[in-house]
């Protein structure tokens, strides 16, 4: 067994590998860029080596620097994690040639599966179901149309070197096939330097289901059940679960056996994943093989009780797999939410900055610990006070739950999301809360088009209906009563004029354009010692009991005897009004003022102060780097013309003019770091 390994990655996955290595008594070496010098993975590792500036192309993607760090520290093996160089066959080969063990598949296996066209040919030869189509590169748009007609619409036009949704179009007719071929080819050339494109049948109502497998150097190979990854946005997974509620045991077995057959065909060693597209009739077809550890590997660990990172390390060290196919368990139901630094209410734009607060829910399961299940686990590479840099992907952490069945897992995940406090950057938590509450998701009635179908116009606050909206009003009144109780204890009050707290209040919820909705409530039976109050909202009563302390964000306790967790903030964090109380629960948020009846009458007479008109400015929709300004003062610009380009989290975002106009001033320069809503260009 190795005594020291280097982790050629950052963030959550680097921390994950360190935990297993520590359990196995293996010392770890972290590598870090300038942006990550204070990162969590650097602090957790036994040693750390600086490998370059912040951009990944100057640090984490430089294989020579990583190998040099390995030699410098005496590490015997490299774990690549996922992303960066994890599926780079040339890097894996270079590592092997330097006498270092690559904790992953052999370079030849990786190369065979890395090319979408060649991998499909190999899969077909191994007896794996492949989607009808043409697996050789297509030379012209006219040829693409003829092939599409032969296969039958709809078809999918894909770049051979594509990934992450780039270089992919679906065509339902000749015109879309012609235009899609040209777009795919250009996108592939610009993104991957490889313009080869192929065409295949598009499976309608498709599910994205993948098989996890692992093999050793002694010819042993097992599949570890499946993962359901159909909840995707723009081809990026949002929620993953294991097992899948859709496929039958017979389909599961057939998919697993075909995945193993393909892995054997390329002499695969280590953990890997074979991805399938599954039709509504449970017909399944090979998509691709990921020759690395997957982001969603924890859900497989939960239902099998295995530590996949440990198995990878043991296989790389030459050990035999400690289990056979008959030993593979499938117990309970696991789900994972990818918590990303993005604003779901602003079209999921990246959100970078400092994590002012980062308080995950209480963990009862832990990465690398296979002794505890049926609980909550958080895999993260950040901590409170840390920075979410603009140079890397947007994932803050992964929230994993394991329940006795699917409904139990959904309930646990909703409660865990309620308890997850993230401030300083926006997060995808409200969107995931909405998905988990959607009746079709709860019923298991979805496919890869679920988000595009149900959130076609983007995600809005009204897309998160609360099953008991009055509970949010009751919580605002409950917290306000605690604040009023503290006011009664202020010293130096004039005798006979002490603060007296009544029982009748009005909760005024604040809406857009100054609209507000008043709701009478009463708060009785307040007990400062037990933290109990009876709050009546209309005809409904809520007996709330909580040891919540003023100033905390998370409030938990019981409501009418049932446990609950919510988030409450008072003051400027509430956003709309410095005196408001902000309450969040199950993805729904309200901003409310809790007033006496007379104060509520006066509030209704207050004038509305409209926000300033910013329509003549082009504003930065997110924090990021201004990489281009395409206009200059005095230039006439038409609606839809390119104005500026902002880069954040490996994504380029182009800003266009909303109306015709003449540029008065350019307020930011190329290379500037921008804040949200910072003005870039002003029109006359």
User: Active-site positions?
Assistant: 288
Q: What is the dihedral of CA 608, 610, 611, 616, to 10 degrees?
A: 180
Tally Cβ neighbours within 10 Å of residue 489. Answer: 10
- Strand pairing category for 673-674 and 651-656: unpaired
Instruction: Find, among 533, 525, 569, 566, the residue nearest to 551 by Cα.
Output: 569
Residues near 648 by beta carbon (within 8 Å), at least 6 away in sequence: 349, 350, 352, 390, 622, 623, 624, 625
Please check whether residue 329 is in contact with residue 305, taking contact to mean a CB–CB distance below 8 angstroms: yes
Q: Which sign, positive or negative, has the C-alpha torsion 500, 501, 506, 507?
A: positive
655 — alpha (psi -120 to 50), left (phi > 0) or beta? beta
Q: Note the Cα 304 to chain centre separation in Å.
A: 23
Contact 520, 504 (CB under 8 A): yes
Distance of alpha carbon 579 from alpha carbon 575, whole angstroms = 10
| Closest to 508 (Cα-Cα) out of 543, 480, 528, 487 | 480
What whole-number distance in Å separates Cα of residue 195 and Cα of residue 210?
A: 27
Name the DSSP class of 607: P
User: Going by DSSP bridges, is the β-strand pair 77-79/4-7 parallel, antiparallel, or unpaired?
Assistant: parallel
- Distance CA(29)–CA(71), nearest Å, equals 11
b/e burial code for range 426-447 (CB count within 10 A of at least 16 → b): bbbbbbbbbbbbbeebeeeebb
How many Å apart are CA 465 and CA 346, to the nearest integer? 19
Q: How far apart are CA 378 and CA 397, in angstroms?
A: 7
How many Cβ atoms are within 10 Å of 118's Cβ, its own excluded? 14
How far apart are the C-alpha atoms of 66 and 38, rounded to whole Å? Answer: 19
Cα distance between residue 106 and residue 89, in whole Å: 8
In whole angstroms, give the CA distance from residue 132 to residue 531: 64
Q: Exposure string (b/e) for 472-488, b if CB count within 10 Å is 16 or more?
A: bbbbbbbbbbbebbeee
Question: Is residue 82 within 8 Å of 287, Cβ to Cβ?
Answer: no
- Whether the link from the prior residue into 285 is cis, omega within 30° of 0, is no
Question: What is the DSSP pairing of strand 4-7 with strand 27-33?
Answer: parallel
166 burial (CB, 10 Å; 0-12 / 13-18 / 19+) is middle
d(CA 421, CA 675): 22
Distance between CA atoms of residues 166 and 647, nearest Å:
17
Q: Are 30 and 48 in contact (CB under 8 A)?
A: yes
Q: Cβ(673)–Cβ(654) under 8 Å? A: no
Which DSSP helix (H) or strand (E) runs through 153? none
Dihedral angle sign, alpha carbons of residues 316, 320, 321, 324: positive
């Amino acid at each position: 067994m190795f005594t020291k390994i280097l982790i050629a990655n950052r963030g959550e996955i680097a921390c994950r590998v360190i935990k297993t290595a520590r359990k196995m008594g293996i010392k770890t070496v972290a590598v870090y860029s300038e942006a990550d010098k204070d990162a969590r993975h650097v602090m957790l590792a036994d040693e750390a080596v600086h490998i370059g500036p912040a951009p990944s192309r100057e640090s984490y993607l430089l294989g020579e620097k990583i190998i040099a760090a390995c030699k410098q520290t005496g590490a015997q093996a490299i774990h690549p994690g996922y992303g960066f160089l994890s599926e780079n066959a040339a890097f894996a080969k270079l590592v092997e040639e330097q006498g270092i063990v690559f904790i992953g598949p052999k370079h030849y296996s990786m190369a065979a599966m890395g090319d979408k066209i060649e991998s499909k040919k190999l899969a077909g030869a191994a007896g794996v179901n492949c989607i009808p189509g043409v697996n050789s590169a297509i030379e012209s748009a006219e040829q693409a149309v003829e092939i599409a007609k032969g296969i039958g619409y709809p078809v999918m036009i894909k770049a051979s070197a594509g990934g992450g949704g780039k270089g992919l179009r679906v065509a339902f007719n000749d015109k879309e096939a012609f235009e899609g071929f040209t777009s795919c080819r250009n996108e592939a050339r610009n993104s991957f330097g490889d313009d080869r494109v192929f065409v295949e049948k598009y499976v309608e109502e498709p599910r994205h289901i993948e098989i996890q497998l692992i093999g050793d150097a002694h010819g042993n190979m097992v599949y570890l059940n499946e993962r359901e990854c159909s909840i995707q946005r723009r081809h990026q997974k949002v929620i993953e679960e294991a097992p899948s509620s859709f496929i039958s045991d017979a389909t599961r077995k057939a998919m697993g056996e075909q995945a193993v057959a393909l892995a054997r065909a390329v002499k695969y060693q280590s953990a890997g994943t074979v991805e399938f597209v599954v039709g509504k009739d449970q017909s399944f077809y090979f998509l691709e093989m990921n020759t690395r550890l997957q982001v969603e590997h924890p859900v497989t660990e939960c239902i099998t009780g295995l530590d996949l990172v440990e198995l990878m390390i043991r296989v790389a060290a030459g050990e035999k797999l400690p289990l056979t196919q008959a030993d593979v368990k499938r117990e309970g139901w696991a789900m994972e939410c990818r918590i990303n630094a993005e604003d779901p209410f602003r079209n999921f734009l990246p959100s970078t900055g400092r994590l002012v607060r980062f308080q995950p829910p209480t963990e009862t399961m832990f990465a690398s610990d296979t002794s505890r299940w049926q609980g909550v686990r958080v895999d993260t590479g950040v901590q409170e006070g840390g920075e979410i840099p603009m140079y890397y992907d947007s994932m803050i952490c992964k929230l994993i739950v394991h329940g006795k069945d699917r409904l139990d897992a959904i309930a646990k995940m909703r409660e865990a999301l309620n308890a997850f406090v993230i401030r300083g950057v926006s997060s995808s938590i409200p969107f995931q809360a909405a998905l988990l509450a959607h009746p079709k998701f709860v019923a298991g009635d979805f496919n890869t088009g679920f988000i595009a179908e149900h959130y076609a116009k983007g995600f809005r606050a009204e897309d998160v209906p609360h099953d008991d909206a009055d509970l949010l009003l009751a919580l605002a009144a409950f917290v306000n009563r605690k604040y009023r109780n503290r006011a009664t204890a202020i010293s130096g009050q004039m005798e006979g004029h002490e603060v007296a707290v009544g029982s009748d209040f009005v909760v005024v919820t604040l809406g857009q354009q100054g609209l507000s909705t008043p709701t009478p409530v009463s708060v009785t039976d307040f007990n400062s010692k037990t933290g109990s109050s009876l709050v009546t909202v209309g005809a409904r009563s809520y007996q709330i009991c909580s040891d919540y302390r003023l100033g905390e964000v998370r409030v938990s306790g019981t409501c009418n005897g049932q446990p609950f967790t919510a988030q409450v903030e008072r003051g400027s964090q509430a956003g709309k009004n410095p005196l408001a109380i902000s309450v969040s629960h199950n993805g729904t948020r309200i901003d409310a003022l809790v007033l006496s009846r007379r104060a509520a009458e006066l509030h209704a007479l207050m004038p509305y102060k409209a926000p300033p008109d910013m329509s003549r400015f082009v504003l930065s929709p997110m924090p990021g780097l201004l990489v281009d300004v395409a206009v200059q003062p005095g230039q006439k610009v038409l609606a839809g013309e390119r104005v500026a380009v902002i880069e954040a989290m490996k994504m380029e975002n182009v800003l266009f003019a909303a109306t015709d106009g003449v540029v008065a001033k350019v307020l930011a320069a190329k290379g500037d770091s921008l804040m949200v809503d910072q003005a870039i260009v002003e029109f006359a």
